[in-house]
Amino acid sequence: MPDLIREEDTTIKVPDSQDLTRKAEVFYNPEMKFNRDLSCLVLAEDFKSRIKKRDSYTVCDSMAASGIRAIRYFKELEKIERKFKKKIFAIWLNDIKKDALDAAKKNLKLNRIAGKKIVLSNENAKTLFSGNRFDFTDIDPFGSSVYYLDSFFGNSMHNGLLAATYTDTAPLCGTYPNTCLIRYFAKPARIDNMHEIGLRILIAKTNIIAAMHEKTYSPLVSFSRRHYFRLFGRAKKSSKGTIKEHLNNIGYMLYCKKCMERKFVGLELFSQKDKCSCGENYDYAGPLWTGNLNDSDFCDRLIPCANDEKMKEFIEMLAEESRNGGICYSIHELAKKTKKDVLKTGKLISVLQKQGFNASCCHFGGHFVKTDKMLNGKEYGKIAH
């Protein structure tokens, strides 16, 4: 017998024994509820900003599986339509697996959803993107979304919003550097801020593919959580001058394995002969995105809409990270390098701010600090003396 699962105001049926692998025809992953919760907030904010000016708004869940994400999207948008007394949205529910699509159909019926607002599709996502364009496109595969980006940007709508998930954290965090090089043409780094580096590699790669189609990609919300990365960003048709200026945000992160000093440099300034202030040669990661990972203004608009306090705190942290800029450092690793005490995050932030630098917590972990000061063992030692 299928299991009955309830998530927020949505109920679905899934097989009672699930195999969360690529081969699974139908599945529900409870670990991704946070992802879906935040996705609903992002979609709702984008929809609210457009509903007064638009006569149509299309959403694509390109890998629908059980259909829970698309169903939650439907209910979220329907609430907004009732508030504005306007009906304009339609959701494409697509999956290449026939069994998944059949299960999604049953879950639509279970939630009493039918009619013209739902378009069912049984295509490869690349084919779907090549022939259709959407206001909001969600790509959520096992592994990497990078394989679908060329098809997406080749036909993407101006100002369309792209939501993409990446579960290939091992290559992006430096466990399999050759795979990262082949897949993203970038060198990762297995150091304390490897998740930040992974996110930045993804945003750079996304912009490079967008530029091939004379478009830019601007990150709105980007984060790393448990076994995946999730990116939300705006795709825009842009002039060559704008694209060139946008790509100036791609460079390298130089870092010292001995003292943990690190900094961003542009592509044209990169040299493997650069030396750290301690005299050691820098190692490097990239090409990667050196700009903000999130749009703080967009994040600020999401915060009052979140019902869960933990979600509010998480988004507040993302917004604060982007306002401060800089690079992330693990306090534990800094203390280990210098054989000094592990300072409380709040205390280190306070000291850095008193010195005139920006500093904040990081969503990568409670023992991380993000700052525009070029920290290293020597500087940390002065603070933690």
Q: What is the pTM (predicted TM-score) of this model?
A: 0.94
Counting Cα atoms < 13 Å in the Cβ hemisphere of 30 gives 7
Query: Do 325-385 and 3-268 have the same topology in CATH?
Result: no
Report d(CA 65, CA 141) in Å as an integer: 10
Report d(CA 19, CA 117) in Å as an integer: 31
Residues paired with 60 in a beta bridge:
92, 137
- List, for the chain, all residue ranges whose pLDDT scores fall below the cut of 70: 1-2, 15-28
pLDDT for 20 equals: 46
Report d(CA 217, CA 209) in Å as an integer: 9
Domain locations in the chain as residue ranges: 3-268, 325-385
Report d(CA 188, CA 169) in Å as an integer: 11
3-class secondary structure, 1: coil
Q: How many CB atoms lie within 10 A of CB 27?
A: 16
C-beta of residue 340 within 8 angstroms of C-beta of residue 347: no
pLDDT for 27 equals: 55
C-beta of residue 322 within 8 angstroms of C-beta of residue 359: no
Predicted confidence (pLDDT) per residue in 176-224, tens digit: 999 999 999 999 999 999 999 999 999 999 999 999 999 999 999 999 9
Report d(CA 232, CA 163) in Å as an integer: 4
> At 309, phi and psi to the nearest 5?
-65, -35
- Tokens 């290559």 locate to 171
Helices (H), the chain: 33-50, 68-84, 98-110, 125-131, 146-154, 169-172, 177-184, 194-212, 240-247, 296-302, 309-324, 331-338, 345-354, 377-383
- In order of 38, 86, 262, 320, the CA distances from 277 in angstroms are 41, 61, 10, 29
Predicted confidence (pLDDT) per residue in 74-96, tens digit: 999 999 999 999 999 999 999 99
Q: How many CB atoms lie within 10 A of CB 127?
A: 13
- Tokens 């059949």 locate to 102
Return the percentage of the chain with pLDDT > 70, whole number: 96
Q: Which CATH number fits domain 325-385: 3.30.300.30, 3.40.50.10800, 3.30.56.70, 3.40.50.12590?
A: 3.30.56.70
Return left, alpha or beta for 93; rule: phi > 0 is left, psi -120 to 50 is alpha, else beta: beta
- Neighbour-count burial of 131, counting CB atoms closer than 10 A to its CB (0-12 exposed, 13-18 middle, 19+ buried): exposed
Return left, alpha or beta for 265; rule: phi > 0 is left, psi -120 to 50 is alpha, else beta: beta
Q: How many CB atoms lie within 10 A of CB 103?
A: 25
The tokens describing 7, both together, are: 């998530």
**Superfamily designation of domain 3-268:** Vaccinia Virus protein VP39 (3.40.50.150)
What is the DSSP secondary-structure string of 239-303?
A: -HHHHHHHHTTEEEEEE-TTT--EEEEEGGG--TT-B-TTSPBPEEEEEEE-S-SS-HHHHHHHG
pLDDT for 122 equals: 96
3-class secondary structure, 26: coil
What is the Cα 362 distance to its own chain's centre?
A: 15
Nearest to 371 by CA among 345, 341, 337, 339: 345
pLDDT for 324 equals: 87
Contacts of 17 (CB under 8 A, 6+ apart): none
